[in-house]
């Protein structure tokens, strides 16, 4: 009753959406990825730094190389998913800040001159954007299968610029038969929220 978002949207994005481990053969098009990006690009980040970068692994040869860097349990589903995306943080995001944060272009040099500061900011803010992206995949009527079980350094060397840190690999498609495990329990409100 306290939510404004309609029930169908709540179900689509959170209540009925599930992490998929099996997919149908239906392709995920570039148009769908563009529509997802054009929605979730508006999600907030600190100073609008938007450090998330997305690598779509489409060629069979690239897919095979990626699968080799995944934990054993993540290989079969990733080999057969319609689309796989590597989500990474660009630690040199500050180069775009004068354009992205025109209200205070000095922020680039004032706050982000040092690489360790940028790495911390990019890790947090790209993670926020990764969550927006997962929500966006669901908004497109697709299921996401985010995974952190992979050799990060191997993926970085194989697929990314030196300045990028991989955050997760996400399988994307329509859920196939037996696509998920039973829903696991969640913590109660009282276990998570305290008031001072």
56 is an interface residue for a copy of itself by CB under 8 A: yes
d(CA 97, CA 91): 12
Calculate the alpha carbon distances from 161 to 88, 89, 117, 166 in Å: 10, 10, 19, 10
**Per-residue binder mask for a copy of itself (CB under 8 A), 9-48, x = binder:** xx-xxxx-x-x---------xxxxxxxxxxxxxxxx-x-x
**Per-residue binder mask for a copy of itself (CB under 8 A), 101-140, x = binder:** xxx-----------------x-xx--xxxxxx-xx--xxx
8 is an interface residue for a copy of itself by CB under 8 A: yes
Residues 6+ apart with CB under 8 A from 66: 57, 78, 84, 86, 155, 158, 159, 169
Using CB under 8 A, pick the residue from 25, 110, 177, 193 that binds a copy of itself: 193
Using CB under 8 A, pick the residue from 72, 116, 177, 195 that binds a copy of itself: 195
Using CB under 8 A, pick the residue from 21, 23, 53, 166 that binds a copy of itself: 53
């Amino acid at each position: 009753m306290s939510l404004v978002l309609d029930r169908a949207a709540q179900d689509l994005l959170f209540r009925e959406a599930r992490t998929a481990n099996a997919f149908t053969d239906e392709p995920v098009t570039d148009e769908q990825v563009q529509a997802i990006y054009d929605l979730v690009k508006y999600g907030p980040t600190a100073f609008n730094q938007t450090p998330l970068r997305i690598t779509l692994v489409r060629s069979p040869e690239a897919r095979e190389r990626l699968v080799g860097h995944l934990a054993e349990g993540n290989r079969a589903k990733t080999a057969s998913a319609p689309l796989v995306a590597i989500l990474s943080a660009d630690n040199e995001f500050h180069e775009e800040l004068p354009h992205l944060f025109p209200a205070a272009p000095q922020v680039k040099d004032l706050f982000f001159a040092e690489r360790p500061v940028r790495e911390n900011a990019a890790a947090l803010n790209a993670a926020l954007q990764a969550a927006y992206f997962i929500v966006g995949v669901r908004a497109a009527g697709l299921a996401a299968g985010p995974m952190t079980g992979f050799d990060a350094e191997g993926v970085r060397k194989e697929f990314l610029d030196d300045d990028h840190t991989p955050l997760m690999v996400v399988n994307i498609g329509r859920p196939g038969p037996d696509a998920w495990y039973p829903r696991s329990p969640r913590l109660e409100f009282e276990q998570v929220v305290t008031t001072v």
